[in-house]
């Protein structure tokens, strides 16, 4: 997913009537994307894992999937503008749901009642696909929670974010995996054909001007 897809998801949510599910889903999408979390990591975050800092939040993952030595890992997410700030969205959700301990992303029933239990990993996919369908995305079948991690890395690559920063935010151990995402993000901006296409355009423009 590109940044514009995240923006579309948020706009669809902003239009909905106020509800616990709306506030949870806004916070979930922003934290999942900007934290580049796996779905198992996302639903495992507890209130105690969050460190509130002046610049944003630092979320400590006790034992990520790739951490064989159980050292843990921290993902830092800075404040953003009020209209799409991950930190403010998370705080609004936690405050409205009066969550001060336990899992932060919880299941919600059809009557908008909040459970004490965390979301199941598979529910993240269902939430994303349902919102994607509302937005009219033509790649619903390809959408999954992994789209957040892949989207963060490729979007960052398009904005020329440094390799080391992309790797750090996603917690990737393999340089090869990160380079694959960066190459995907640059597939059009750093493309041999784009230079030739621009050259062809200038040649055709010259010919038209002569006639």
Does 202 map to a domain?
A: no
Whether residue 56 lies inside any domain: the answer is: yes
Q: Rounded to the nearest 5°, which phi and psi values hold at 137? A: -65, 140
Q: Give the CATH number, domain containing residue 162.
A: 1.10.443.10
**Is 45 within a domain?**
yes
Residue 9 forms part of a structural domain: yes
CA angle, 179 then 181 then 184, to 5°: 110
Does residue 87 fall inside a structural domain? yes
**CB within 8 Å of 32: residues ≥ 6 apart:** 39, 42, 124, 145, 148
Which residue range(s) make up the domain with 132? 3-185
In a domain, 126, yes or no: yes
CB atoms near residue 32 (< 10 Å): 27
Sheet holding 73-78, edge to edge: 50-53, 56-61, 73-78
Q: Taking the chain (211 residues) in consecutive chunks of 10 residues, what is each chunk's mean pLDDT?
A: 84 94 94 86 93 90 58 81 85 95 95 95 90 89 75 70 70 65 59 63 64 50
In the prediction, which pLDDT does 76 show?
A: 85
Please name every residue paired with 57 in a beta bridge, in sequence order, or none if there are none: 52, 77
- pLDDT of 66 reads 52
* Number of folded domains that form the chain: 1
pLDDT score for 202: 74
Q: Do 11 and 5 form a contact (C-beta atoms < 8 A)?
A: no
Inside any domain, residue 162 = yes
Q: Is residue 124 part of a domain?
A: yes
């Amino acid at each position: 997913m590109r940044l514009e897809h995240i923006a579309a998801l948020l706009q669809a949510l902003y239009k909905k009537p106020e509800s616990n599910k709306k506030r949870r889903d806004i916070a979930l999408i922003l934290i999942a994307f900007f934290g580049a979390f796996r779905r198992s990591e996302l639903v495992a975050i507890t209130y105690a894992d969050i460190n509130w800092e002046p610049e944003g939040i630092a979320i400590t993952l006790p034992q990520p999937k790739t951490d064989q030595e159980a050292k843990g890992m921290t993902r830092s997410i800075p404040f953003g503008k009020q209209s799409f700030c991950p930190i403010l969205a998370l705080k609004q959700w936690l405050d409205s749901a009066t969550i001060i301990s336990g899992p932060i992303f919880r299941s919600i029933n059809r009557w908008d009642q909040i459970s004490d239990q965390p979301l199941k990993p598979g529910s993240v996919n269902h939430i994303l696909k349902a919102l994607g369908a509302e937005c009219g995305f033509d790649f619903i079948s390809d959408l999954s929670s992994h789209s957040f991690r892949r989207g963060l890395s490729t979007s960052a690559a398009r904005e020329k974010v440094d390799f080391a920063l992309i790797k750090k935010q996603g917690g990737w151990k393999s340089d090869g995996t990160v380079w694959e995402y960066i190459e995907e993000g640059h597939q059009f901006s750093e493309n041999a054909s784009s230079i030739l296409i621009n050259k062809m355009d200038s040649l055709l423009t010259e010919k038209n001007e002569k006639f």
